[in-house]
Amino acid sequence: MIPTVAPAPADADQAGSTTAAGAPVPRPGRAALTRLSRHRLLGSPGAVAGLVWLAALVIASLTAPLWLPFKTEDQDFTAVLSGPTAAHWLGTDELGRDILSRIFAAAAGTLGTSMITVIVGVGLGTILAMLAAGAGERTETAISRVTEVMMSLPGTVIILAVIGAVGTNIPLVMAILGILMSAGIYRVILGQAKSLQSQLYVDAAKVDGLGPLGISVRHVLPGLANTVVVQAALIFAVGMLIQAGLAFIGFGPPIPQPSWGGMIQGASQHVYDAPWMMVPTGAVLALTVLSANAIGNALGKAPNAAAPHLPSAADRRQRAKAVAAIAAAARDAEETGDAGTDAGAKGTLSVRNLSVGVDNAGTGTGVQLVTGVSFDVEPGTVLGLVGESGCGKTMTALSLLGLLPSGVSATGGQILWNGRNLAATPDKDMQSVRGREIALISQEPMRALDPMFTVGYQLTATIRRLRGMGRSEARAEAHSLLEKVGIVDAGRILKTYPHQISGGMAQRVAVALALSGRPKLLVADEPTTALDVTVQAEILSLLRALVKDTGMSVVMVTHDLGVVADICDQVAVMYAGHVVENGRTAAILDNPRHPYTLALLAADPHANHADSMPERLATISGQVPQPKDWPAGCRFAARCQFAGSACLEPVPLLPSSAGDGLVRCVKADQLAIEGMDWLATDVPAGRLLPVSPVSSATPEPAPEQDSIVEKDLA
């Protein structure tokens, strides 16, 4: 299954929630704030400068009475309209008042009242949007009509009318400005709030009994964080400018209280005889507005909490670094003649020694999730990657497309495809591979389909993009693709939206979408897991037919040996991040050599014949170890009924005596000779019997006394 990090479900907000890898999962709101503050704000020099400027302005303004040399109303008639001097650093105005003192004295008021506009405008707009999105169509219609009326009102006239009625009460004027602006903010936020309300995790939260308020606060608001802060920064800047404009035309704070707009107005009277007077206040106002905009810009680039699976720019940079490192290693290997393999035959996928790891904050020293995986997929064949959950199948599959999740990247090895090493291919070059050469279908068909557009639009747009066809030609191709994937009434389905079709139909459409670019390789990540058994069989037979008809090859990720038996020519059994056995499907299913394969088969009801079905199916005690807990020796040893002390040493992948496959077990041959079965009995985890180590180059059967645990267990 492709990992996604959705906002925490209703019951998962406890502090201790972790990823499968054991890493703590931040709550969406906190995650958003972390990203906003750490990666974006501090990563943008403009935003950092803006923050420093605003912070300095606020501190200087609040502490002004303590350090300013002059009071705002002090007049120095010996220095009227002067430029900067030792006594008056920024000069004086027409009454000899110190401009520096007046700028800082006015700053707190200007910033504070602009914040009133932000709080009222953004707060009201956000609350209305969340209410409209969550409370149903009638409420949304009512709120939308009211905001439309608000937007049609002449704001300037209303503000002037308020000033006429109540005088220059700046906080009140700015609050009313906020109310007027909230209508626009409502419109900006509503669409996003509605989309968040329609997420599957919101449905899950509703099922869990979370009320509308809880859903809005816990699931919707965190997803709106980006938009809200960007709007806040913009409104802050606009509020400051409007306030300065009002003061300029005489509706500022009462005289002699200074205001930036009032000071600019005063300076405009002396623009010819004392032009300097305009500079300090104008520059401070401009710098403050620029600072707010720079901060808004930086925050606007932050990834949304609702889509944390999308790689941020930092993730992309990190990936680019990882790709460059692999490319450099490959070049070194070529120079020293250690490259190992050529680029493989055309249409053959050759994965060599692939490792995938967590980036660990860009240091490249994080835990490894997949190590030393190698396999080949010939044209027109299907390779199954099989294993329990957490064995690294998805990480391996996604690395073929360069689509590893944020914070994870390929750390070594080669993915050889049509003459290039995809592991060392930059993301922008991978774009021409994805869809056109290698396509993906995932477990959840709805992931591939956008609920906002009809099936026809999505298919046509994809075909046009990937194959450069005209509209009507693409439409005809979409129709034929739907027929190809077994949809009888293709014309009708083209007109439907994804939510109007069943899961099986959606998976067929997803397959058609994947075929749009006529890929040579299809990566299918558990494509039938979410479907019921009959539909599963249909999709498998569709894939089989496509492989036969088009000569396309498939990498099929599955935990179902039935699927492997049904469709795969080759199989690679993965356990704890590496391949423990691979080879031809028939050879492996008939003659498994690795105890893990043996155990998977023993635990699979379909692999046991009805007449010889045991009373109790076999189990594999324990769990797949977390990547950070992988032992140096055999990673399966702690759960293995046949483990011995030789299994404490690292085990290489060696040719299996059965067929042309490879197996990673020091006792593989001994098990084959003795014909051991995996028992239904649970084995205490970590039990190891003494077994003499065998040479890794030529595995020999273990001595008699090192026998199999089974004997003890019986």
Ligand X SMILES: Nc1ncnc2c1ncn2[C@@H]1O[C@H](COP(=O)(O)OP(=O)(O)OP(=O)(O)O)[C@@H](O)[C@H]1O
What values do phi and psi take at 79, rounded to 5? Answer: -135, 55
Interface stretch with ligand X, choices 16-24, 191-199, 460-468, 483-491 (CB under 6 A)? 16-24
Q: Nearer Cβ to ligand X, position 153 or 685?
A: 685
Q: Nearer Cβ to ligand X, position 97 or 393?
A: 393
Q: Binding residues for ligand X, how many (CB under 6 A)? A: 21
Minimum CB separation from ligand X for residue 446, in Å? Answer: 17
Burial level of 319, CB count in 10 A (0-12/13-18/19+)? buried
Q: Nearer Cβ to ligand X, position 23 or 680?
A: 23
What's the full length of the chain, in residues?
A: 714
CA dihedral sign, ordered 304, 307, 309, 310? negative
562 vs 104, 548, 567, 602, CA distance in Å?
75, 20, 9, 13
Q: Nearer Cβ to ligand X, position 358 or 523?
A: 358
Residue 230, C-beta contacts closer than 8 angstroms, at least 6 positions apart: 296, 299, 300
Q: CA nearest 90: which of 276, 289, 285, 282?
A: 276
Interaction with ligand X in 625-664: which residues (CB under 6 A)? 626-627
Q: Nearer Cβ to ligand X, position 196 or 572?
A: 572
**Tokens for 532?**
């019921």
Interaction with ligand X in 371-410: which residues (CB under 6 A)? 387, 389-395, 405, 407-408
Minimum CB separation from ligand X for residue 631, in Å? Answer: 15
Cα atoms in the 13 Å half-sphere on the side-chain side of 159 = 27
Minimum CB separation from ligand X for residue 639, in Å? Answer: 15
Cβ atoms of 296 and 288 closer than 8 Å = no
Minimum CB separation from ligand X for residue 443, in Å? Answer: 8
What values do phi and psi take at 341, rounded to 5? Answer: -135, 160
What is the maximal distance between C-alpha atoms in the chain? Answer: 112
Q: Nearer Cβ to ligand X, position 152 or 363?
A: 363
Minimum CB separation from ligand X for residue 624, in Å? Answer: 7
Separation of alpha carbons 60 and 90, rounded Å? 15
Minimum CB separation from ligand X for residue 464, in Å? Answer: 33
Tokens 């300065």 appear where?
Answer: 244
Separation of alpha carbons 286 and 693, rounded Å? 76
The reply on whether position 357 binds ligand X by CB under 6 A is no
Q: Work out which of 11, 18, 20, 198 binds ligand X, going by CB under 6 A.
A: 20
Site string for ligand X, 44-63 (x = CB under 6 A): --------------------
Q: Nearer Cβ to ligand X, position 432 or 623?
A: 623
Separation of alpha carbons 28 and 31, rounded Å? 5
Q: Nearer Cβ to ligand X, position 540 or 671?
A: 540
Q: Nearer Cβ to ligand X, position 309 or 331?
A: 309
Minimum CB separation from ligand X for residue 13, in Å? Answer: 20
Q: Work out which of 111, 118, 264, 369 binds ligand X, going by CB under 6 A.
A: 369
Q: Nearer Cβ to ligand X, position 105 or 395?
A: 395
Minimum CB separation from ligand X for residue 558, in Å? Answer: 8
β-sheet with 438-441: strand ranges across: 438-441, 521-525, 553-558, 382-386, 570-575, 578-584, 662-663, 654-655
Interaction with ligand X in 571-630: which residues (CB under 6 A)? 626-627
Q: Work out which of 31, 358, 646, 671 binds ligand X, going by CB under 6 A.
A: 358
Site string for ligand X, 513-552 (x = CB under 6 A): ----------------------------------------
Cβ atoms of 359 and 409 closer than 8 Å = yes
The reply on whether position 559 binds ligand X by CB under 6 A is yes
Minimum CB separation from ligand X for residue 393, in Å? Answer: 4
- What is the DSSP code (8-state) at residue 698? S
Cβ atoms of 138 and 116 closer than 8 Å = no
Interaction with ligand X in 336-355: which residues (CB under 6 A)? none
Residues in contact with ligand X by the rule CB under 6 A:
1, 3, 19-21, 358, 369, 387, 389-395, 405, 407-408, 559, 626-627
